Amino acid sequence: MAKVPTDPFEFFGAWLRDAESTEPVDPNAMILATSTADGAPSARTVLLKAWDTQGFVFYTNLDSRKSAEIKANKRAALLFYWKSLNRQIRIEGTVSPVADAQADAYYATRPRESRLGAWASAQSRPLASREEFEARCAEMDARFPGDDIPRPDFWSGWRVSPASFEFWQGVEFRLHDRTVFTRSGEGWETGKLYP
């Protein structure tokens, strides 16, 4: 096995770069697991849109189920799985909102249709028919005829700040390699787990 980085963010960056060169669709896809205040879990796939040593950022409707759960319970988990590489990364930590300026900057990079969709979607709430949603999209298209579409105040980003990482590399005969990092003050403790 290759030498293991001592910084989990360096490790993450190396594996993400590998995934970006091998995964055909959405190498930045991650499973986000949240739970209600009383511990009922739920999970869904979201897209990683930014990351640095402060954490991992995704964007969503602030009235969605995931956002309601985050507001009730600031702890969450992420899972990246790249089947073609036989690798996964688990991250657990706390969640906080991104700054408005960061959300605005990302929102401005989205295709026009995606920005209109953010306005049109009452995410996670019941929808009578696909036609109803398409009608709402058409209404937003008429409301914002040009490219100047402001970010809705109910749409922004969340950052998962890690307290722990687990890097899992599949190995033949199920003799997998598991490396863990746990936050310790300003640094990280690292170790191995049995497969």
pLDDT in tens, 36-77: 999 999 999 999 999 999 999 999 999 999 999 999 999 999
- Nearest CA-CA partner of 185 in 168, 167, 170, 163: 163
Is 15 a domain residue?
yes
pTM equals: 0.94
Instruction: Please give the Cα distance from 47 to 49 (Å, whole number).
Output: 6
Range in 28-32, 73-77, 123-127 the model is least confident about: 123-127
Is 138 a domain residue?
no
Q: Residue 1: pLDDT above 80?
A: no
DSSP code at position 173: G
Q: What is the mean pLDDT of residues 13-25?
A: 95
Domain holding 26: CATH number?
A: 2.30.110.10
Instruction: Print the domain residue range for 16.
Output: 8-99+157-193
For residue 5, what pLDDT band results from cuts at 50, 70 and 90?
confident
Q: What is the mean pLDDT of the chain?
A: 95
By annotation, the residues acting in catalysis are 174
Is 122 a domain residue?
no
